[in-house]
A and B are shown apart, each in its own frame.
Chain A
Amino acid sequence: MAIIRDIMPAFDLLQPTSIAGARKLLEQHGRDALVLAGGLDSFDWLKDRIKKPKMVVDLGGIEELKGVRTTSDGIEIGAMTTLTEVVQHPVIKEKYRLLAEAASVVASPQIRNQGTIGGNISQDARCWYYRAGWPCYRAAGNICYADTPVGRNHEHAILHANRCVAVNPSDSAPALIALDAKLVISTRKGEHVVNAEDYFVGPDIDITRLNILQPGDLLTAIRIPSALAGAQFYFEKVRERNVWDFPILNVASAMVVSGGNIKRIRIAVNGVAARPLRLKTVERAVLGKAPNAATGQIAGKLAVQGAVPLQFNAYKIPLMRNLVKRAIGGVGEAV
């Protein structure tokens, strides 16, 4: 059970200074190793003594994983770049403002100073039953304590639930999907580049993970292509209190408007399913239309099709509908 003891269980701390060194250690220790980025998610698990790894591989000493680099086709952000650096980087602020906005509302300034972009998109679910160490599906058990008539589930999933109803808590993930980012993963078989939306998995595929990283894999960088640089961006996060909280729901969109009509759009939401969802149906529906309230209303209705509320989270359906509406048609009166 989750009794905060504040004293972590004993483990060997390994501090590689290169990606190759980290890879070697991760291959060597496999499931016995816990990867530590900023530590803001990991330390919870350790202090609660729910995860008791034999080894902790601290990536903090690997300079290759840090910083923002300009490339021939956009930018590459090291996975260990702090959220503060992402927020403050001039190129990101100028061309990829969507990501800067999303990163700027993650938790608190202190946490953004320590938390990394790689850690933010790879963090674990915040379902309180799961974090309390109960043997739920996500913890390889056989029950979901949240999806019951009396379960406390007002922050849980309304879409794509499959036994587990936890949601992905990342703010930067939908922004990266909207920006068509590619994620670079170092695996046993070499470097593997995936689209941001394919980095995340739902419980229908793998109920114990939120992303495709297998034991031994390492997220090394995030590449954002220039195709959507300087596009019309929208990011909005709704949380229970306006400081230091995970999203109840967020939306990110990148839109290219020409001649008054939407020529290209990518839109994603998070906090409604175990993975951030790219809303392809919405994208197809609004293409060629004017980005106004009427189009936004259509988009909002489409976005929530198939939503199945739990006992206490039906409010998420109109919330998602309105956020998507605002992302397309601008901030107006909610419907």
Chain B
Amino acid sequence: MNALQWAMDPWGNIVPIHIAWFLIWVAVIAGFVFFIVHATYVRYFAKPKQFAAEVPPPIASEIPARVPRHSLVARLYHWTAGAAMFTLLFTAFLPRVGFQFTWVTWHWIAGAVLTVLVIFHIFHASFWRDFWSIWPDRIDITDADHRIRRFLGRPAPLPRKSAKYPLDVKLSHGAFMVAGLTMIVTGFFMMFRVRTIFFSRNPYLFSDMTWGMIYVLHGLAGVGLITLVMLHIYFTLIRPENRPVLKAMIFGWMSRDSYLEEHDPKRWVVEAKISSQESREQKGLGAGNEE
């Protein structure tokens, strides 16, 4: 069973033309296997989470009831990019598994939208947000090492609470970034092979071998994204412990309790803004006695 499909080009060279489509099912099955293994582990074997130190009460009391987590711009980016990603995956793979429809135009439009969104995201995250917050730092690596050693039954200190993003989210972002950028870059060149509004077709831009590798990389990134999206949905929509994260991606904030449970105020510094409701409560004004 070959993971790539090969063909002979007009010059007699054997070149790859794309991935073998059974890899779609490999990606889907891998996602489901992960669900089952992880859910079983969490349900029957996992120990309660333990962290090195609790947040001291004076610091905890400074945290607002609603901790801002995602700006409106960041949330809009997330959901529109998600819609584009789903459109790309459905238009790419449903025809391969028997659902025939006009998919090419929708596919490149969704790809163009995602490309614009990702370029925006890169600039927005680099210059207007805390760029380094999504990248693993030294503490993440040290704590991951501690977690693994404790998992294996070896002595190790308790891990610390996470910064704004835990290591698993940072790794997930990294995987999405690699697969997404691969898909975008290869997809950009593949648009030279179809009729779009952007530029003239030029199927001879590269050699057959290079084109083949571009198609293979695009396909591999695509099936990788199937699994990644499945895991993302599993962890954010299905796992109950991650509901605060989902809620934050909808409303922009998470509760003080959720924040204190998982995050270290030293690593994720939150401005102690007091909401108007809290201010009223501190002044002894109820919601109904403003007048």
Contacts and interface: CB of A to CB of B under 8 A. Distances in A.
Interface of A: 1, 134-135, 139-145, 147-148, 161-163, 201, 204-206, 308
Contacts of A162: 102, 104, 194-195
Interface of B: 5, 7-10, 12, 15, 17-18, 95, 100-105, 193-195, 201, 203-204, 208, 211-212, 215
A206 B193 contact: no
Nearest to A203: B104
Contacts of A143: 193, 203, 208, 211
Nearest to B218: A142
Contacts of B100: 201, 205-206
By Cβ-Cβ distance, the 9 closest A-B pairs, closest first, are A135-B7, A204-B102, A141-B17, A205-B100, A142-B17, A142-B215, A206-B100, A143-B203, A148-B203
Given A140-B5, A147-B203, 20 more contacts: A1-B8, A1-B10, A1-B12, A135-B7, A135-B8, A140-B17, A141-B7, A142-B193, A143-B208, A147-B201, A148-B203, A161-B195, A162-B102, A162-B104, A162-B195, A163-B194, A204-B102, A204-B103, A205-B101, A206-B95
B211 A142 contact: yes
Contacts of B8: 1, 135
Nearest to A206: B100
Contacts of A134: 9-10
Nearest to A129: B10
A142 B102 contact: no
Contacts of B101: 205
Nearest to B204: A148
Contacts of B104: 162-163, 204
A205 B94 CA distance: 11
6 contacts: A1-B10, A135-B8, A135-B15, A147-B201, A162-B195, A201-B100
A258 to B, nearest CB: 38
Nearest to B15: A135
A135 B102 contact: no
A142 B212 contact: yes
B181 to A, nearest CB: 21
A205 B7 CA distance: 23
A206 B103 CA distance: 10
Nearest to A148: B203
Contacts of A142: 17-18, 193, 211-212, 215
Contact of B17 (A1, A135, A145): A135
A300 B234 CA distance: 56
A161 B104 CA distance: 12
B211 A145 contact: no
Nearest to A133: B8
Contacts of B9: 134-135
Contacts of B18: 142
Contacts of B102: 162, 204-205
Nearest to A145: B10
Contacts of B5: 140
A145 B11 CA distance: 13
Of residues B5, B7, B8, which shows the largest number of chain A Cβ atoms within 10 Å of its Cβ? B7
Nearest to B201: A147
A163 B203 CA distance: 11
Contacts of A135: 7-9, 15, 17
Nearest to A209: B100
Contacts of A145: 10
Nearest to A202: B102
A148 B101 CA distance: 25
B49 to A, nearest CB: 48
